[in-house]
Amino acid sequence: MRPVERGDAPEMYSDYADARPALIDRIGMYCSYCERRISANLAVEHVLPKSLHPDLELEWSNFLLGCVNCNSTKGNREVDRNEILLPDQDNCFVAFEYDEMGRIGPAGNLSAGLNDKAERLLWLTGLDKLPDEFDDDALFEAAMERWRQRIDVWNLAQLQKTDLESENTEALRRATERLAVQAGFFSIWMKVFEDDHDMRLRFISVFSGTSLDCFDPSTTEPLARPGGHC
């Protein structure tokens, strides 16, 4: 999961929905949780739910962006920042593993404490579920689409990697950057290109709002985020 940095509040808001353009400008047109690129229905998402924390309804530091599926699943569940990993406070890139079957799970090398925090984030957003585990038909369809898109982007990234192995040109590398930005799923591109530091540096750069504190600028190896759990 991509670690994001939204920066300081650009202004004070009287309606939290008005923060959407600034958030998209800062962290891109992606769900902060599942990493899909969403051109419509991408909502301003309250990390701590506004129904339980009305004092944070207009607080920039409590805003992320969420797709319908992640946002609906998260709902009004309470969030304790001390007991969960979150993309705006931790280096969530080190905490989760992605595979070609569309599955997401905690990374195998996490401590017991970090594993629990990673599991809480997956549970909060429904990313720990198979699509057929959603009882609601609308949530099932959204989860299924979210799942299919992960598989599709994995396959796309693999094709680009194969092309680069046979024709390693600057033009093709720039084209791969553009494809990644359009397709979304930062973590999948980073995983598929894990042995290509140049492309990983490009992904870190072109995905707006990726936290630069979370990656070594030379090797792209993940770093513990200052002030975070990991």
Put simply, whether the predicted model's pTM sits higher than 0.85 gets the answer yes
- pLDDT, tens only, 152-165: 999 999 999 999 99
Which are the contacts of 121, defined by CB distance < 8 A and separation ≥ 6? 1, 33, 84, 85, 86, 92, 95, 127
- pLDDT tens for 66-102 read 998 899 889 999 999 999 999 999 999 999 999 998 8
Spans of all domains in the chain: 16-214
Give CA separation, 34 vs 170, 195, 217, in Å.
Answer: 30, 23, 25
pLDDT of residue 106: 96
